[in-house]
Structure 1
Amino acid sequence: MSSNRPNFIFILADDLGYADLGCFGARDAANRPADVSPNLDRMAAQGARFTRSYANSAVCSPTRFALITGRWQYRLRGAAEEPLARAHGDKVLGLPPEHPTLPSLLGAAGFSTALVGKWHLGYPPHFGPRKSGYQSFYGFHAGGNDYFAHTDPRGDPDFWADETPIEQRGYLTDLLSCSAADFIERQDGSKPFFLSLHYSAPHWPWLTRDDEAESAQTRSNGPHLDGGSIATYQRMIHHMDEGIGWVLDALERRGLADNTLVVFTSDNGGERFSNNWPFVGQKMDLLEGGIRVPLIARWPARIGPGTDSHCPNLTMDWAATMLAAAGVSPDPNYPLDGVDLAPLFGDAAWQRPGDLCWRMKHRGQRALIRGRWKYLRVDDIDFLFDLEADERERANLVHRESARMQELRSAWEQWDATLPPIPEEARAHKLFTHREMPHASA
């Protein structure tokens, strides 16, 4: 019966660093413990904290392709863009409506489905949330959104209720949180639900709830790349955390908390104000700082409190996990690449089968993780790291462990051969032209 099937809430932050939450070691500008995320810290204490969770990509939209399909994002043309550019009317760069997705499969099985927040998987009229399984949509299509004007990075209005453009005054993070909480309050228990809550926070422009005047100045002067501070950035995280508290409170009021799996993570590693400690690298890098992300899962009916998992996993694994928990089969014509992580809920020693792999056109990056070992290539230079002994990726063991290096490089090449090549015309965006990726010593 539907009442016995779990509900799902997947909360995705944007550009959040590995150590930006209190439960992952957040520090303020004076290097003191930062009290930025009390609700997420509480959620971790009530459930599981995953210390070796990885985003499917070091940049935004490719991770979202993987999350919604449960498959390697490289199978779809749009995910070759780093990130997906604004292309209204484009018939190619987006999530094909005919491709099965986590919300479409759950919706067909009787779930209520909703996306609140960021889409960034292609633009109308050819792509959109409600063409890919979400029954309702409240949010924006682009990669970023001004927190007060609700415009895209080009300054065009981008705030929607389903397919209708809307104007609504308020701080974007708060509006998304309230909409998500309202969605939960409307559930009457007759059918399970799947809610995607995809925040813009803490993506630029770096604006807190009190910075509406700064928003107006930003819009008159162009992109907000010269703004922000650690204090502003951490306050943005705190606003998001407050909203997540509203969502968790709504679950309690409706008596739905016990049988609802709530997952929180980030789409990629942090950017300039983030704390990625102890890792090096950031967004756009396949170093740990660009792909290792905080992840918390709470499901009182299945996950014991205070659980820590150190098993490597990928964003796309959560599609497989939720479908399995719901008793919903994937489309046989689109087999999942992700792995059901449910064994981790009761067995901390369980290890995810298969390698974790990445490739990016930007700087010709590639990476593969197998247990404690990581193979990395950047600018045609190969690296091998023992992440248990050297999580900062400083000691390149490519010569000392030459046989292992060859093994992992061959494994990456075999994996890569199973996927479509990256098109030559794919756009690889470099965020900071002055910054070089920090290489490990040879």
Structure 2
Amino acid sequence: MARPNIVFIVADDLGFADLGCYGGRDAAFGPVSPVLDGLAAAGLRFTQGYANSPVCSPTRFALMTARYQYRLRGAAEEPINSRSKGSPTLGLPPEHPTLPSLLKESGYRTALVGKWHLGYPPAFSPLLSGYDEFFGPMSGGVDYFSHCSNNGTHDLYLGDEEKQEEGYLTDLLSRRAVDFIDRMAGQDAPFFLSLHYTAPHWPWETRDDAGLAREVRDNLFHLHGGNIHTYRRMIHHMDEGIGWVMDALRCHGMAQDTLVVFTSDNGGERFSDNWPLVGGKMDLTEGGIRVPWIAHWPAVIAAGAVTAQQCMTMDWSATLLDAAGVAAHPAYPLDGISLLPVLKAPARPFARTLHWRMNHRGQRALRDGRWKYLRVDGHDYLFDLEADERERANHAGRDPQRLARMRDDWEAWSTTMPPIPEDATVSLGYGASDMPQR
């Protein structure tokens, strides 16, 4: 089989149940995510998939490297913010092999359309880390119309140069992705397209809210703004754009042999639907890290499949390399594990232990089978997620031996990772834990 084209789509701050195919409710205008629901129905949906972090940029470090983000200094910032501008250390080192750089070296054409959030030029940029092309913002969040970041500076780039372009950002990204696919049609080389939306990340603006741009520019966090109706419409705009991308693949006869993967960088924020999970962004409770994962690849994946395979972001990066027949750099072995066998046989999940570490509130977590060990603010919890996905029934006192065993496992794993630097900072987002008492 020829090497597939790859489209890796990442939403920003999307909740676990925001999509219809994950139980989300229709909006007043109708289904919120008909295109993504269709991709899930025609492909594979994961019910136990996770992000590498409950915040933006650390997950993106893992996505880019297929390794635990804790191995890189920049990922200790939760997340990278404007203080990182001009820093030679707070970003993705250009010398580190990445998913796009390894694919590029093997003959793929590579493009990032959308959010970077892995350090600022001149020390860091997508073009220094394996992408042939880049169009999007460098920072974590921008106004959808003025394209200004939270310090008021314009942040939309074409390559390493600022690009002034009018329009609603979600639509600009979707159209740029379609343009890349159009240009790749008929080429001998396969392509890798990272389509990293800022939607539905704040500020809360739909395609019809251009009049809010002046107000939002003075308060990009939009603390007083937004509502569930605006939020759902933002997801719908993204879903429409993904429909344009799929139409382009079909138009050029490439949909059959293109692996399309969709997910979110972390759990949802204040308007998200995470049911039945609790918590959200910034939390290692399930609502902060369990996210949608959809894979569509008609040549390989049977339609209508669902799997309970446990996985996280870096596993998908390893999967894409495996699907392309590309090996890891020998000096940078992968922490991610390829899910290619699961794509081919979803009913045969394999055991996978997952670890997290979070500077904010001293959080830690370990998922092993049905059990989860969690620490928040110095308190230890033990949950049976098969019976209690809402993490309400704490088994720590009832099963102290299991708790001790899982805590020891987490401690042993943590010794293999660099310690959190004393100068690492936390940039608080929305989403507060709703933890049970011990």
TM range (shorter): over 0.9
> 39, 44, 57: which is aligned to 2:53?
57
The aligned counterpart of 2:358 is 360
- For residues 255 and 436 of structure 1, the distance between their equivalents in structure 2, rounded to whole angstroms, comes to 46
Deviations 1:62-104 (Å, cap 9, x if unpaired)?
0000001000000000001111112221001000000000000
**Is the 8 Å Cα contact of residues 142 and 220 (structure 2) preserved in structure 1?**
no
What is the one-letter code of the residue matched to 1:277? W
Deviation of the 1:182 alpha carbon: 0.8
- For residues 23 and 295 of structure 2, the distance between their equivalents in structure 1, rounded to whole angstroms, comes to 17
**Is the 8 Å Cα contact of residues 178 and 244 (structure 2) preserved in structure 1?**
yes
**Is the 8 Å Cα contact of residues 367 and 375 (structure 1) preserved in structure 2?**
yes
> Is the counterpart of residue 301 in structure 1 residue 299 in structure 2?
yes
- For residues 321 and 219 of structure 2, the distance between their equivalents in structure 1, rounded to whole angstroms, comes to 46
> Is the counterpart of residue 130 in structure 1 residue 96 in structure 2?
no
Deviation of the 1:34 alpha carbon: 5.8
- For residues 219 and 52 of structure 2, the distance between their equivalents in structure 1, rounded to whole angstroms, comes to 34
**Paired residues for 1:332-351 under 5 Å:** 332-351=330-349
TM-score w.r.t. length of structure 1 = 0.96
The aligned counterpart of 1:102 is 99
- For residues 361 and 5 of structure 1, the distance between their equivalents in structure 2, rounded to whole angstroms, comes to 40
> Is the counterpart of residue 399 in structure 1 residue 388 in structure 2?
no
Cα distance change, pair 134–221 in 1 and its aligned pair in 2 (3 A): closer
What is the one-letter code of the residue matched to 1:10? F
Deviations 1:12-70 (Å, cap 9, x if unpaired)?
0000000000111112579xx96100000010011001111100000000000000100
Cα distance change, pair 29–137 in 1 and its aligned pair in 2 (3 A): closer
> Is the counterpart of residue 149 in structure 1 residue 152 in structure 2?
no
Q: Which stretch has the larger CA shift, 222-231 or 314-323? A: 222-231
3-state DSSP of counterpart to 1:413: helix
- For residues 197 and 280 of structure 1, the distance between their equivalents in structure 2, rounded to whole angstroms, comes to 28
3-state DSSP of counterpart to 1:321: helix
- For residues 235 and 162 of structure 2, the distance between their equivalents in structure 1, rounded to whole angstroms, comes to 27
Cα distance change, pair 12–436 in 1 and its aligned pair in 2 (3 A): closer
- For residues 100 and 197 of structure 1, the distance between their equivalents in structure 2, rounded to whole angstroms, comes to 20
What is the one-letter code of the residue matched to 1:182? D
TM-score w.r.t. length of structure 2 = 0.97
- For residues 220 and 256 of structure 2, the distance between their equivalents in structure 1, rounded to whole angstroms, comes to 46
What is the one-letter code of the residue matched to 2:344? G
**Is the 8 Å Cα contact of residues 279 and 432 (structure 2) preserved in structure 1?**
no
The aligned counterpart of 1:408 is 406
What is the one-letter code of the residue matched to 1:301? A
Cα distance change, pair 221–81 in 1 and its aligned pair in 2 (3 A): closer
> Is the counterpart of residue 118 in structure 1 residue 120 in structure 2?
no
Segments of structure 1 that go 5 or more residues without pairing to the other structure are: none
- For residues 27 and 258 of structure 2, the distance between their equivalents in structure 1, rounded to whole angstroms, comes to 36
> Is the counterpart of residue 266 in structure 1 residue 264 in structure 2?
yes
The aligned counterpart of 1:81 is 77
3-state DSSP of counterpart to 2:232: helix
**Is the 8 Å Cα contact of residues 341 and 352 (structure 1) preserved in structure 2?**
no
Q: CA RMSD in A?
A: 1.4
**Is the 8 Å Cα contact of residues 313 and 352 (structure 1) preserved in structure 2?**
no
Deviations 1:322-360 (Å, cap 9, x if unpaired)?
111111111000000000001112323433444100001
- For residues 335 and 220 of structure 1, the distance between their equivalents in structure 2, rounded to whole angstroms, comes to 44
> 148, 156, 160: which is aligned to 2:157?
160
- For residues 251 and 94 of structure 2, the distance between their equivalents in structure 1, rounded to whole angstroms, comes to 35
What is the one-letter code of the residue matched to 2:51? A
What is the one-letter code of the residue matched to 1:438? D
Counting matched residue pairs gives 436
What is the one-letter code of the residue matched to 1:37? S
3-state DSSP of counterpart to 1:4: coil
